[in-house]
């Protein structure tokens, strides 16, 4: 009887420690259009608020100022103008 009780407890511990599935991957959120120097961009963000992404994108596009802690990369010959990331937080601009 004691073996059955220990086995049941062990099964519950294993079920809690190793969940069945991971969360679904979610695409970046489209924050909206942004016009800088007569050029149109669409700003997208993942794991960051759209208001922060839009403000930071405008600052980066006008003066190359990065938000604190973010690493930014410019792209040439691509629709993606730049991408800034800090861990899982990401925002980027697509030229339209």
C-alpha count within 13 angstroms, C-beta hemisphere, residue 22: 3
pLDDT for res 25:
86
- Region label for 47, one of left (φ > 0), alpha (ψ between -120 and 50) or beta (otherwise): left
Reported as a single tens digit per residue, the pLDDT across 56-94 is 999 999 999 999 999 999 999 999 999 999 999 999 999
* Number of C-beta neighbours around residue 71 at 10 A: 10
State how many domains the chain has. 1
Tell whether 88 is covered by a domain: yes
The pLDDT tens digits of the residues spanning 4-48 come to 555 655 565 555 655 555 567 889 999 999 999 999 999 999 999
Eight-state DSSP code of residue 64: -
6 located within any domain: no
Domain ranges, residue 31: 26-95
For 12, list phi and psi in degrees, rounded to 5: -65, -40
- 12: in domain: no
Q: What pLDDT was estimated at residue 42?
A: 99
Burial class (CB in 10 A: 0-12, 13-18, 19+), 89: middle
């Amino acid at each position: 009887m004691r073996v059955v009780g220990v086995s049941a407890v062990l099964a519950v511990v294993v079920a809690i420690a190793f969940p069945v599935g991971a969360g679904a991957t979610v695409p970046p959120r489209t924050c909206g259009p942004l016009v800088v120097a007569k050029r149109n961009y669409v700003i997208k963000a993942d794991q960051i608020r759209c208001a922060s992404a839009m403000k930071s994108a405008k600052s980066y596009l006008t003066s190359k100022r990065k938000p604190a802690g973010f690493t930014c990369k410019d792209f040439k010959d691509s629709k993606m103008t730049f991408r800034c990331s800090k861990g899982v937080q990401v925002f980027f601009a697509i030229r339209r």
